[in-house]
Structures are given as structure tokens and as C-alpha cells.
Amino acid sequence: MSSNSDQKPSQKPSQKLWGGRFAETTSALVERFSESVSFDARLYRQDIRGSQAHARMLGKVGVLSSADVDAIVSGLDGILADIEAGRFEWKTELEDVHMNIEAALTARIGDAGKRLHTGRSRNDQVATDLRLYVRDVIDELVPLIDRVAGGLLDLAEREADTVMPGFTHLQIAQPVSFGHHMLAWREQILRDRARLLDCRKRMNLLPLGAAALAGTVYPIDRAFVAEQLGFDGVTANSLDTVSDRDFAIEFCFAASLILVHLSRWSEELILWATPMFAFVDLPDRFCTGSSIMPQKKNPDVPELVRGKTGRVVGNLNALLVLMKGQPLAYNRDNQEDKPPLFDTVDTVSLCLQVYAEMTPAITVHRDNCRAAAARGFSTATDLADYLVGKGLPFRDAHHAVGSAVGFAAQKGCDLSELSLDELKGFSPLIGQDVYARITLEGSLNARNHIGATAPAQVRAAIARARQNR
């Protein structure tokens, strides 16, 4: 239970940057409840960049003197250096990253620091900081995705000729190249990359200039600030600008889908690493052991990625629910956008890093993969296609092959192990040439068109990918 001291006032109203209106000091409990600097301090680089661009613009249009601009820019450089060196004292009574930096700037350079906030509000300031932050994050995540995609490409090239069972409903369906399977994973992560870049393009508009909600009376030059900060243009409506968090939601959706894809890969690796499959071996450095069972080698990295996916999807849901009931324009609710956003950034970045390191080091047990493909009548469709090629209608071919599979299952052998006479019992159209079609390699090589699983097509896809990188 909180003590009575929790209810005591903290700073005098006049000491708050917004305190002129207030006669009563803020409760210490309310300060603890409402502060955000404990998590939004990570925006300090973006906040300082935005403030320096704003100051330069105010100097350009004649609102600030050149001396004030120089003092603000150099003072913010000094604060940045202090923060980076761990010398900066963050104060919860100053609420957030913006007021902490502004108060420190004023203490450092005097009245010029008080003039920095001319023509802007914390509403458009935080919107700018967040867009800069998400843009920076995307620029860091894209190279990580490229590393993951590159590792998959290398693994696909090594295993282009490796035969494994392809699955539908987790039942053996048709033989595929292991390399082809890795290229399927790569297609997913490349779509994730494109989504991030699309999100970046859509959000890359400058919010500064919207002020609190209606714009400002000062003769600001928004295009100048946009150019300074690398934005493609400026936002079109001040009310929308300060209340918009679509870009954060869109980023969290893209991040959620990245994790959903990594989680699907994780599920497959977890299965494939079990003795029942034994398709792959994960490097020891990405696994752990058991505290009681000495034989265990647990695939903890894929399991943790699979688990962390739920957190990231939950963060997306939190942002959607946060925004769903808010009227225009800015509301304090939006302070709560940062914890789920920041957690998503940290989680997706770490998961991509571990996959970028782990993927190239996966060992594939080719004989086990091939043996599994041979066990599930995975070339049954090839036999049906063979009969269609001989003139039998597909539905009749499907029935004949189904009967052949039932016979082979009772006999305990694969279709390719049945004698020619046994196969002819299901259709007189079957000849000696059937065996070239119903072997695993024959099945793979027959699917020789763009996007298919033939090793030649896998190598061609890899060559195209390397050429386009």
C-alpha cells in the first residue's frame, strides 16, 4: 500500500514548463502514474534531431536570431554527448523526453532554450520523433532481413538436390527439393521486407508544423524542416497529424507478420530436429540441455521465437485497441503507444538476428530426408499423371492409383517397388517407362518449370536471386 508521502506535491507549478495555469502542485503519485520518460527517453536522438531542424527553420524565417540558433544547436549537441556518455540525469518530474531535454537546454544556454518551442507543441513534436524513430528502425531491420534471406539462399544452394517430403495437412504429399523449401521461406521474408519499405514510404511525411492541433501563427517553413530531416514531404491536415498513429500500427503489423513467418519456420525446425524426423541438426550454440536428462538437446531458439511471436501480435492488438475509441485530435492515451512499439522493435530485431546467425549453420541429414519421402507414396500423383499422358481420364487415373497405393500399403512397399505385372493389374496402360516417373528423382525433375521444385529450377531461382541482390 502507498504511504501518505506518495500524495505530497512535488514541483511547484511555476517550475513546470506548462505550470503558469496551475495554482496547485502535481501530486507525486500522479507524477509516477503519468511520467513517460522511463521509456520514451530512447527517443532522445530523434528528439534532438527534430529540435535542431526546427531551430534552424525558425532562424531561416526570422523568428529566432542566428545567435539563438547557434546556441540551441550546439547546446543540443552537448546534451546528446552527455546522454551518450551516460552523464545526463533524467527526471521523472519533467514527465517526458521532450521536457527533460528542453529543461536541460535552458539550464545550459539560458533564454535561447526557452525560445526553442516557439511554433510547435509536444503533440507534433512526439509525432515527429516517433516517425523518425520508426523510420530509423526500418532502416536497421531491412539489412537484418537481407542477412536472413542470404542465409536461406546459401542453404538452398547447398541442398538443391536434396529430396525431402513435401507436406499438406502435415501428411506426406509429394517429393520436393529441400532447397525449394528454403526458397519458400525466403519468399515470405522478402514480402516482409517489401512491407517494411512500403510502411516507411507511407509514413515519411513531416508532422512538425501541426503544433497542438490547428497549426501555428508563425511563418514557418515546413518544407525546409522536411528536407533537413529527410522526409519526402509534409502532412496535409493538422488534426490528423497529431492524432495519427497509423504508421506505428502498420509497422507493428509488418513486424507481427515477420514473427509469424519465423514462428512457422521454427515449428518446422522443431519437428525436423526431433529423432522422429531427424531431417536437420541445429548448431549446439543455438540449443540448450536438460537439467535432469543428459541426452537432451533442446531447440530453444526456435521455441523462443515461436513464443515471442505471441507477444508481438499482442502488441499490435494493444495499439489497435488504444486507438479505436479516440476522438480527434491528440489524447494522452497516445502516451501508451510507445511500450508496445518499443517492445515490438526489440523483439523482432533480436529474433531476426538469431535467425541470421543460425540459418547458415543448419546441418541437413539428406539420407533421412530422402528416406522419409520414399515412405509416404509421395509419387502417387506422378503415376496418375503418367496414366493421363497415356490417354486415361484423370479421374479414372486417380482411382487406379488409389487402388495401387492401397495394394502397396498392404504389401509394405513403395509404388516404385511394385513389379511391372503388379502395376499393370491396375491399368494395362502402364509400361516399363513408368519407373522413370515414379522414382523420387524422376518426380522432382519432371516439375521443371519456373516456380517448381526441379533442382534445375531451384538453381535457376537462386541465380536470379543473386543477380537481383
Residue 167 cell numbers, joined: 507436406
Cell of 103: 529543461
169 catalytic per annotation: yes
Beta strand spans in 286-341 (E): none
Rounded Cα–Cα distance for residues 341 and 349 (Å) = 12
- Alpha carbon separation from 209 to 18, 50, 224, 377 (Å, rounded): 20, 12, 11, 67
Distance CA 191, CA 184 (A): 11
Angle among Cα 318, 319, 322 to the nearest 5 degrees reads 85
DSSP class of 326: P
Choosing from 2, 3, 5, 169, the catalytic residue is: 169
> 347 near 308, Cβ under 8 Å?
yes
| Residues belonging to the chain | 469
The upper half-sphere exposure of residue 411, i.e. CA atoms within 13 Å in the direction of its Cβ, equals 16
**Does 290 qualify as catalytic in the annotation?**
yes
Amino acid letter, residue 268:
E
C-alpha distances out from residue 58 to 45, 237, 242, Å:
20, 21, 20
- The strand pairing partners of 280, in sequence order, are 364
Report the alpha-carbon distance of residue 120 to residue 330 in Å, rounded: 14
Angle at which helices 122-158 and 44-60 pack, to 10 degrees? Answer: 130
Active-site residue, from 38, 74, 290, 403: 290
Coil vs helix vs strand at 427: coil
Which residues belong to the active site? 169, 290
